[in-house]
Amino acid sequence: MRAGIIGSGLGGLLAAVSLARRGSEVVIFEKLPYAGGRFTNIERSGYQLSTGALHMIPHGEKGPLARMLRTLGISVQIKTSKPEGLFRINGKDYLFDELPELFSMKEKLKLTAALASLKLDRGGKESLREWLEKRINSKLLLQIADSFCGWALSVDSSKVSSGETAAITKNVNKFGGPGVPLGGCGGVTKALVSELERLGGKILYGMEVEKIEIENGRAANIATKEDSYDFDMIISNAGPKATIKLCGEENFPASYVREIKNIEEAAGIKILATCEKAMLGHSGVLFTPQAQRIDGLNEVTNADPSLAPKGRHLLMSHQALDASQNAAKEVKLGIEDLHAIFPDFDRHCKVLAVHVYKSGWPVNRAVSGVRISPESPIKNLYHVGDAVKPKGWMESEGVAAGVELLLGHLQKRKRILLH
Ligand X SMILES: Cc1cc2nc3c(=O)[nH]c(=O)nc-3n(C[C@H](O)[C@H](O)[C@H](O)COP(=O)(O)OP(=O)(O)OC[C@H]3O[C@@H](n4cnc5c(N)ncnc54)[C@H](O)[C@@H]3O)c2cc1C
Among 181, 183, 186, 268, binds ligand X (CB under 6 A): 268
Q: Can you spell out the DSSP letters for 328-379?
A: HHHHHHHHHHHHHH-TTHHHHEEEEEEEEE-TTS-SBSS-TT----SB-SSB
Give CA separation, 299 vs 72, 335, 347, in Å.
29, 16, 17
Q: Does 7 bind ligand X (CB under 6 A)?
A: yes
Among 114, 172, 219, 242, binds ligand X (CB under 6 A): 242
Q: Does 399 bind ligand X (CB under 6 A)?
A: yes
Q: Can you spell out the DSSP letters for 46-101?
A: TEEEESSS-S-BTTGGGSHHHHHHHHTT----EEEPSSSEEEEETTEEE-GGGGGG
CB of 96 to ligand X, least distance (A): 18
Q: Is 375 left (phi over 0), alpha (psi -120 to 50) or beta?
A: beta
CB of 57 to ligand X, least distance (A): 5
Find, among 389, 355, 206, 341, the residue nearest to 267 by Cα.
355
Q: Does 238 bind ligand X (CB under 6 A)?
A: yes
| The one segment of 33-41, 163-171, 289-297, 338-346 that binds ligand X by CB under 6 A | 33-41
Residue 147 or 364: which CB sits closer to ligand X?
364
Find out whether 279 and 12 touch, Cβ atoms under 8 Å.
Answer: no
Q: Does 208 bind ligand X (CB under 6 A)?
A: yes
Q: Does 323 bind ligand X (CB under 6 A)?
A: no
Q: How many residues bind ligand X (CB under 6 A)?
A: 36
CA 358 to chain centre: 13
Please tell me the distance from the alpha carbon of residue 391 to that of residue 148, in angstroms, as a whole number: 17
Among 3, 5, 9, 72, binds ligand X (CB under 6 A): 9
Q: Does 54 bind ligand X (CB under 6 A)?
A: yes
Among 5, 27, 57, 76, binds ligand X (CB under 6 A): 57
CB of 242 to ligand X, least distance (A): 6
Please tell me the distance from the alpha carbon of residue 234 to that of residue 3, in angstroms, as a whole number: 6
Q: Does 8 bind ligand X (CB under 6 A)?
A: yes
CB of 73 to ligand X, least distance (A): 20
Q: Does 197 bind ligand X (CB under 6 A)?
A: no
Residue 30 or 156: which CB sits closer to ligand X?
30
The pair phi, psi for residue 363, each rounded to 5°, is: -75, -45
Q: How many CB atoms lie within 10 A of CB 92?
A: 11
Among 142, 160, 209, 370, binds ligand X (CB under 6 A): 209
Give CA separation, 127 vs 65, 116, 155, in Å.
27, 18, 11
The sign of the torsion formed by the CA atoms of 366, 398, 10, 22 equals: negative
CB of 151 to ligand X, least distance (A): 9
Q: Does 366 bind ligand X (CB under 6 A)?
A: no
Contact residues for ligand X, defined by CB under 6 A: 6-12, 29-32, 37-39, 52-54, 56-58, 208-209, 237-238, 242, 268, 270, 318, 357, 363-364, 385-386, 395-396, 399
